[in-house]
Structure 1
């Protein structure tokens, strides 16, 4: 009753005509792994912290998960089916209010400390009820948890305040690294600067701006950590490091022009895997910027953007999807159908009418000469292309925009502190469930990742109601009302989801692409064929 098993399969089926879900299958022989070799890969993003609980940047997820375990994880051959990690088994009560996990015996942290149920409890206490000084970026996903009990050293019991259909799969999130209770007691900043997990690879060193080194953990509780180690190199572009043999992969995405070059230059020495991605691009408007306090101004900005003409063009240049979306993947179970989507502000197809209305709204609000600063992330794809597109679109409505690009750490701090007028933003989803994908839009005091900073209790109530609703049709109605309301508020300007293609040196085996760039990045099952 409380499980939603077929959502992702429906999502992919609905998008089959729009996306290529393909791969060179020679990269997927997970059962044929042999030990040895070092996986080298590139990461374009600097990271501001080692603490996955409070992080949101993808770079964290390309370094950190290999060092940690989660309570459960996913079966990459049948996502989002769960399989055990720290937990060897689990049970959900008939009323959906009690989740009981049995913890594997014999697991040890990299410092030799045995893992017990107390470590799992301390981790989830930190996630759902963070103490002062701890940032839990996704704490609202655990708002249904009432208490956590440990009746013995290898049993953890979660008592829920209300039914939550997304909670079980939510336990598989790679952001939920299991920390040692001993380390948590060292203070709120310890995990931002130190690493001690139970994952397949031990941390060796991090030289900021150069490389991240890990080696196989011989005491790992599974036998699929085949690699001798991994080295992640800080890179700016993919092509030259791939052609020169410095890296074997870059896990974020290769844009269409890069894919073309790699195919031409590397021939049969490179393989590609492609999949639609659960990462949603949107633009956040700051509640503190005076002109945006008038909803007419916010509506004008979204009305100016020609999504239907612009997004297909962007998709040929970068890894945005060619069709517009409002919070959920087009064609998925709970998404608005296209005829309903086109009724929302900014999604109408008559751009002449849209822009005429936008100019009229700006004039009516006294901001016909609107100027603001657009704070961007200094990463080429897709940030630079989206910025160029949006600035041109707003110019057509008489709006003047100054772009300010900042390195990732500075950009992250800027968003968190609210030191911007307008900034690019995104939902980095790890599940196709609306509870995950809509969480970004709830009030600031419910979700610290609401960078616009607004409070809207109607959204909060709708979000909680859909999370608890077991009837799919009733839940869909609540979700549609949520999407319509957040689009009308227009504190965020919805754009599109993304497509993901990764390039792999053909010697890399056993890796299977996932529908998010933060998923399947612990390098379990990956091996090198020499």
Structure 2
């Protein structure tokens, strides 16, 4: 998942909320406070949680994730899959319409998907389309649009040819960049069609009625939605504030009834009031080594630092939020379809805590009191929580290894550029799944441009095999083997698996938090 998701959730600012704040009295309206202003609501271009949360209410893909986060028929009522897993034929529902009453067709999907991988669109989401035949080649200007494996056979039939069998492809069709967008509107107003409520056309359970920028987004039920009979709310309102304290005040005072990321210091009080909730969230907070920068170009030094981290204490005293200490890479919540077991449970812990062994490894690498390590600096983006974690690790490494570690914080955009260039030794990082499959995590370090500057041929080959096989048993075995290599080479230090803390009034019912960090209000209601 792109880093923007994580930043949007974890950063808090000082902007004061200024939207109208009447007490919630309407029984058919949910007020959910967004944590940031969407820069756009164009599903091809957006990357942050506030944007994608809003789009989930307004748009729909061929599939939509259910309460178990499994893809179910949505704008497509059914599909056929070829025996080799490379050809999907989707059959759209008859009579499906945009919110303005015009038909939604297979041509809309062909146009929308090719738009995402059009190099002139320059979408940051294009990589999620790369399982489609020639999509990556088109994005890199090595193929034509007509060669991309997406074709509308008629108004109701979309055929998709994949470059290789992709076990999670149906999950992808529920992701925001796979939504259809209205071609005529987009081509008429390519820069502004999704930047304002006026004239915006939607396909999902709700349609947008008002957007006061940096203040509030309002919705009403989309009567042209194919499943409108199951949409219980007539209206929704999304006030906007990037201040955690302001968002929480709105919920506690009943001026709104739900928001994300209440301040950790308020957790106990909110629990006692029955307002504190925690949803599953497929992600991990970790530290990443630049494996080419001394002293971390030596795997023994990397392992010494990793073995010295006391995660349980960090989670209990600093992080809170009912987070789970992490001892591997892929988080819990992903099922092996062959065994029916959780992928993480099968793989077990791949890292331990052992200060004695850590000191031995450091000595084997040639470092002791007479030969101290060169200067080591932790890089993190400016945020109180990141600072607290970095300070804790600094103390742990001093106590366990006797090493001096400096801290360096940077504004988030600068930080991400620094990390991407590899201009660091060890840095804070987070990763949230783009789609519900272990591959969303495992392919991170097979990328030739990964932040760790890590390149392992065996690892890359296992990831390639896992992508291209049509045998789920082989696929899962390859992914487990690759994950073990990642820890044999000690590329990262996992800290905790993420959760999604939120505050909600108990009378809001029927919503569903996806493991991807999004909340679906399609079936929500006020009790």
Partner of 2:513: helix, strand, or coil? coil
Deviation of 1:101 (Å) = 0.8
Aligned residues of 2:308 and 2:354 also touching (Cα < 8 A): no
- Say if 2:375 and 2:405, in contact at 8 Å, map to a contact too: yes
Asked if structure 2 preserves the Cα contact closer than 8 Å seen for 1:327 and 1:437, the reply is: yes
Q: Matched residue pairs, number?
A: 472
Match of 2:432 among 428, 435, 441: 428
Partner of residue 91 from structure 2, selected from 82, 102, 114: 102
Aligned pair in 2 of structure 1 residues 104, 482: CA closer, same or farther (>3 Å)?
A: same
Alignment partner of 1:249 out of 239, 255, 258: 258
Whether 1:440 aligns to 2:444 is yes
Residues 277, 515 of structure 1: 8 Å contact kept: yes
Q: Displacement of 1:494 after TM fit?
A: 2.3
- Residue aligning to 1:17: none
Partner of 1:526: 524
CA distance in 1, matches of 2:461, 2:232: 44
Compared CA separation, residues 167 and 362, structure 1 to 2 (3 A): farther
Instruction: After TM superposition, list the pairs within 5 Å mapping 1:386-465 onto structure 2.
Output: 386-396=389-399, 397=401, 398-404=403-409, 406=411, 422-429=426-433, 431-444=435-448, 450-452=450-452, 454-465=454-465
**Equivalent position to 1:80, from 69, 91, 97:** 69
Could you give the per-residue CA deviations for residues 402-443 of structure 1, whole angstroms, max 9, x where no partner exists? 242536x66666666767665432232265421233232321
Q: Offset of 1:103 from its aligned partner? A: 1.7
CA distance in 2, matches of 1:324, 1:515: 20
Match of residue 214 from structure 1: 219
Provide closer, same or farther for how the CA distance between residues 493 and 138 of structure 1 changes in structure 2, counting only shifts above 3 A.
farther
CA contact (8 A) 1:282 1:496 kept: yes
Distance 2:52 2:359 in 1: 40
C-alpha displacement at 1:483, in angstroms? 0.6
Q: 1:473 to 1:412 in 2, by over 3 A?
A: same
1:309-324 matches, cutoff 5 A: 309-314=313-318, 317-324=320-327
| Alignment match, 1:512 | 512
How far off its partner does 1:281 sit? 1.8
Quick one: which of 202, 214, 237 aligns to 1:230? 237
State the match for 1:123 in structure 2.
112
Q: 1:42 and 2:33 equivalent?
A: yes
Deviation at 1:117, TM superposition (A): 0.9
- Normalised to the residue count of structure 1, the TM-score between the two structures is 0.75
How far does the alpha carbon of each residue in 1:292-338 deviate from its partner, in whole angstroms, 9 at most, with x for none?
555555444434323355445456x2342135332242896464669
Secondary structure of the residue aligned to 2:240 is strand
Q: After superposition, where does 1:159-198 map in structure 2 within 5 Å? A: 159-182=161-184, 185=187, 193=195, 196-198=201-203
CA contact (8 A) 1:206 1:213 kept: yes
Aligned to 1:158: 160
Q: Deviations over 1:437-490 (max 9, x none)?
A: 323232146xxxx44455555433212312343445433331122112223444
**Residue in 2 aligned with 1:371?**
376
Alpha-carbon deviations, 1:132-184, whole Å to 9, x = none? 45234362564254511211112101112322221122222345332233455
Q: Secondary structure at the match of 2:494?
A: strand
Q: Is the 8 A contact 1:148 1:158 kept in 2?
A: yes
Alignment correspondent of 1:261: 269
Q: Which has the higher contact order (CA 8 A, sep 6+)?
A: 1
Give the CA deviation at 1:284. 3.4
Q: Aligned partners of 2:346, 2:470: CA distance in 1, in Å?
A: 25
Matched, 1:341 2:346: no
* Cα 1:370–1:208 shift into 2, 3 Å: farther
